[in-house]
Amino acid sequence: MNATRAAWVEVLEGRRLMSASMVAGGMADLTIQFGPMPSQIRSDLRTTLRVVVTNVGDAAAAGKVVIHMAGDGDTLADQAVRVRLKPGGKKTFRVHFVLPDSRNAGEANRIFPGVPVDLAATVDAGNGVAERDEGNNSVAASQVPVETVAHRQWMRQLGSIHIDMF
């Protein structure tokens, strides 16, 4: 009877180990997508964009991650958020930033009215969550139109011009 009981315990232990190794083998995998994009972004004013973070992995993702937002390669925001996502789970975050009217001091880097900006967002920019694929954490949105401060001022002045016709 002791030999049978010992064999049964070995089988149970084997199953427990197998289950534990199957659970330990799963990994989280975070991806990011932009929510609805505005028709244009206004420079020098606070802009809020929505991004959707999804766990496409087969294990839960939990921890503090950084959502990095860039415009034409320049950092616009690094926003720390907490994620707690089951496999297949998703959550929408709001990212706030100000697109400067003039980046750097040079004229070559100035934003001109109607010239679009390329936006990019990255989730888990600091690799705070161990993931199956670290290469799928970014998304890009090309050619988002920008309305500049100069354009807004010009439109206000244009609206205040009165032409008298004889």
Q: Which residue has the higher pLDDT, 54 or 5?
A: 54
DSSP string, the chain: -HHHHHHHHHHHHHHHHHHHHHHHH--B-EEEEE-SPPS-EETTSEEEEEEEEEE-SSS-EEEEEEEEEEETTEEEEEEEEEEEE-TT-EEEEEEEEE--SBSSSSGGGB--TT--EEEEEEESTT--S-BS-GGG-EEEEEEE-EE-HHHHHHHHHHHT------
- Determine the pLDDT at residue 121: 94
| pTM given for the model | 0.71
Residue 72 confidence class, pLDDT cut points 50, 70, 90: confident
- Does domain 26-159 sit in CATH 2.60.40.10? yes
Average pLDDT over residues 54-76: 92
Question: Is the pLDDT at 130 greater than 60, yes or no?
Answer: yes
Break the chain into its structural domains and give their ranges: 26-159
Question: Is the pLDDT at 156 greater than 60, yes or no?
Answer: yes
